[in-house]
Amino acid sequence: MARAIPPITSLVKYDNPVLVIKHPEKKHDVKPQLGKPSLAAAADPTSLPPLRPISAPPSADEQREILNSIRPPREWTDEGHLWRQQVSSIPATRLDVLNLQEQLDARLQQRQAREMGICPVRRELYTQCFDEVIRQVTINCAERGLLLLRIRDEIRMTISAYQILHESSVAFGIRKALMAEQGRADLEAAVAKLCSEKSELEKQVVELRSRADQIERRSNEQKLAEEKKHTEQIQNLMKTNQQLKAQLEGIVAPQK
C-alpha cells in the first residue's frame, strides 16, 4: 500500500520524505508536527547557527540547520510509521526561479488574493515565496541566507507589532463606542426630562399670562370706573359751585 504523503501547499521546495521511526508509539518524546516555527523562535538569534569565517566553506550540518530554520521539517504518521520531509538542499537553477514566479502568480489567482490592501492570502503566498528565495540563496551563500533570515524575522516582528497595535486600537474603539452608546442613552434620558420640564414651564407661562391679562383687564375696568366716578364728582361739584355762586350774587345784588 502506498503511503499517504500530505500535500505540499507551500512554495518552498522539499526533499523526498524519509522514514524516521517504524513504531513511534515506543518513542513518546517524539511528537509528529506540521507547521511553521514560532515568531519568537525564528527571531531568536541564538536559534541560528553562528557565523563562520568567510574563508571556511559551510558544512552540511550548518547548511541543514539554516535550511531547517527557514522551514521546519514536515512530519506525519502513516500506518504506525513516522515520516519526515526536510527543506530541499538542491541548488536552484534559473528555470526553478521562473517556475517559482509562475507558481506564485498561479496561486495568487487560484486563491483569489486581493491585489491591493490587506490580504492574508497574498501575505502568506509572498512569505512562502520569500522563504524559497532564502533557501535558494542559502545554498549558494550561507552568510547571505542568514542575513535574509534576519530581515525576514524583523519584518515578521514589525508586522506582529502593527497587528497588536491594530487589535488594541480596535478594542479601544469598541470600548469608546460602547461608552458613547451608554452616554447617548443617558443624554437621551436627560433630554427627555428637560423636554418634560420645558412643557411644564410652558404651561405655567400660559397660565401666568392668562392671569396677567385678567388682572390687567380688571385694573383697566377699575381705572375706567374710578375715572368716571371722579368725573361725575367734579361735575357735581361744579354744579354746586355755580348754584352757590348764583345764590351769592342774588344776595349781594339787592344790597346795592
Q: Which residues have C-beta within 8 Å of that of residue 111, sequence separation ≥ 6?
A: 121, 125
CA distance 86 to 72: 7
Query: Long-range contacts of range 119-124, CB-CB < 8 Å, 24 or more positions apart?
Result: none
Among the residue ranges 14-28, 134-148, 205-219, the one predicted with the least confidence is: 14-28
Higher-pLDDT residue of 195 and 19 is 195
pLDDT of the residue at 37: 41
pLDDT of the residue at 58: 60
Higher-pLDDT residue of 249 and 237 is 237
Chain segment 24-68, per-residue pLDDT in tens: 454 444 343 444 443 334 444 445 545 444 445 566 777 778 888
pLDDT of the residue at 33: 41
Task: Using DSSP bridges, classify how beta strands 74-78 and 18-21 pair: parallel, antiparallel or unpaired.
Answer: unpaired
pLDDT of the residue at 38: 39
Among the residue ranges 77-81, 195-199, 214-218, the one predicted with the least confidence is: 77-81
pLDDT of the residue at 126: 92
Q: How confident is the model at residue 255 (pLDDT cuts 50, 70, 90)?
A: low
pLDDT of the residue at 66: 80
Higher-pLDDT residue of 6 and 241 is 241
Higher-pLDDT residue of 94 and 78 is 94
pLDDT of the residue at 194: 93
Chain segment 103-150, per-residue pLDDT in tens: 999 999 998 888 888 888 999 999 989 988 988 888 888 888 889 989
Domain boundaries, the chain: 18-168
Task: Output the nine-digit C-alpha cell for 88.
Answer: 530541499
For residue 54, give the DSSP letter.
T
Among the residue ranges 9-18, 106-115, 116-125, 217-226, the one predicted with the least confidence is: 9-18
**Mean pLDDT, rounded, for 158-166:** 92
What's the mean per-residue pLDDT of the chain? 80
Distance set, CA 218 to CA 223, 238, 255 (Å):
8, 30, 56
